[in-house]
Amino acid sequence: MAYIRAFGSYLPARRVDNHELAPLVGATPEWVLSVSGIEERRYAAEDDTVASLGLAAAQDCLANAGIEAGQLGMLLVSSGSAARFAPGPASQIAAALGLTSTPALDIPVASAGSLIALALANDLAPRFGPVLVIGAEIMSRRIERAPEGRDTAILFGDGAGAALVDPNSGFARIADSLLATDGTAAEILKIERDRIFMDGRSVILQAYRKMPRAVTDLLARNALTPADVGVFLLHQANLNLIERVAAGLKVPLDRFFVNIARYGNTSSASLLIAAAEWHGSLAAPLAAPIVFSAFGAGLHWGALLALPA
């Protein structure tokens, strides 16, 4: 068992709104907004890397937690868009933080990668010490800004988020998690030869079924219902999907923290970017359960429950 102690995030400065993007993909800004809920997304600078974005989010998280990198017991870095497969960004981020013997592991999973890392961190923190979880993505280099790439180009943006999972203290105690994988549908969402491919209709069908079920199953085994949850922090994939999940759980949408309009879908970074913004906006101490949930390429999906500490 461990605690969530702090979050951090980093968003590149360049904003790409629908007026800039839509003509490139043969669409209108209004259509992009209606099918995604996205108004703008951020794109990394040319000299940015997944590791440099992840490092910035890591530093923000460490500052928010008030600890030095040297106190970390482990780094877990999720990314589905890193330029290099091996070694991935984890060791680069660790090195940039001045760590030369702290284990730093990659979780090369888009979308749900940071949820998986959070769940693993809960089990690893008691053994290794504080675990810094990072989700970092440069999805703008995995899309095609052309009519043939329209369905993915309109969705994705770049950014990084981080969370510190501490074995001893934090504002929320990770109580339970549920992770699942179904590789029989792996072909409907994949990054291959530097490009993302998505059968969006099938992805929505699968996500709409699997995410609410993971959440309700996780809550039920902890004697909770969706109505007991104070905030739902979901992978920011598509506003319409989040609305459907809310409806499926019979929970008002205002219980879901949503920032997709400003950043688009930043794949595995989105969960932690949303969490960082939500936590930064808290006006009072946490008083009700938090549910994290994500779904994506793999297919990997799941949910994580954290309770007020």
Partner 1 sequence: MGQEARILKVLQRVSKKDIVPAADESLFASGLLDSFALTDFVAGLEEEFGVSIPDSDLSARKFDTLRKVDSYISAKSA
CB of 148: closest distance to partner 1 in angstroms? 17
Of 260, 286, 285, nearest to 274 (Cα)?
Answer: 260
Residue 201 CB, nearest distance to partner 1 (Å)? 3
Binding span for partner 1 by CB under 8 A among 44-52, 71-79, 203-211, 281-289:
203-211
* Contact between 35 and partner 1 per CB under 8 A: yes
Helix axes 50-65, 270-280, angle to 10 degrees: 30
Choice from 96, 204, 261, 309 touching partner 1 (CB under 8 A): 204
Residue number with CB closer to partner 1 (67 or 188): 188
Residues 221-230: contacts with CB under 8 Å, at least 24 apart: 221/176, 222/175, 222/176, 222/305, 224/289, 224/305, 226/250, 226/251, 226/291, 227/251, 228/288, 228/289, 229/255, 229/288, 229/289, 229/290, 229/291, 230/255, 230/286, 230/287, 230/288, 230/289, 230/290
**Are 23 and 154 in contact, with CB atoms under 8 Å apart?**
no
Which one, 83 or 205, has the nearer CB to partner 1?
Answer: 205
- Residue 149 CB, shortest distance to partner 1, in Å, is 17
Tokens of 145: 């800004």
Alpha-carbon dihedral sign for residues 197, 244, 39, 269? negative
DSSP assignment, residue 187? G
Which distant-in-sequence residues (6+ apart) come within 8 Å of 113 by Cβ?
78, 79, 80, 107, 135, 267, 268, 296, 300
- What is the nearest approach in angstroms of partner 1 to the Cβ of residue 185? 8
Does position 181 interact with partner 1 (CB under 8 A)? The reply is no
**Can you tell me which of 208, 259, 261, 262 binds partner 1, judged by CB under 8 A?**
208
Binding residues among 131-170 for partner 1 as defined by CB under 8 A: none
The correct pick among 244, 255, 262, 309 for binding partner 1 (CB under 8 A) is: 244
Tell me if residue 219 falls in helix, strand or coil.
helix
For the CA atoms of the chain, what is the radius of gyration?
A: 18
Residue 30 engages partner 1 in binding (rule: CB under 8 A): no
CB of 243 to partner 1, least distance (A): 9
Question: Quick check: 241 binds partner 1 (CB under 8 A)?
Answer: yes
Query: CA of 62: how far to CAs of 66, 135, 165, 284, in Å?
Result: 6, 15, 11, 22
Going residue by residue from 182 to 201, which x/- string records binding to partner 1, judged by CB under 8 A?
Answer: x-xx--x----------xxx
Q: Which is nearer to partner 1, 216 or 222 (CB)?
A: 216
Under rule CB under 8 A, residue 33 binds partner 1: no
> Residues 38 to 97: which contact partner 1 by CB under 8 A?
none
Least CB distance to partner 1 at residue 194 (A) = 25
- CB nearer partner 1, residue 45 or residue 205: 205
271 upstream amide cis, omega within 30 of 0? no
**What is the nearest approach in angstroms of partner 1 to the Cβ of residue 154?**
13
Residues that bind partner 1 (CB under 8 A): 35, 182, 184-185, 188, 199-202, 204-206, 208-210, 240-241, 244
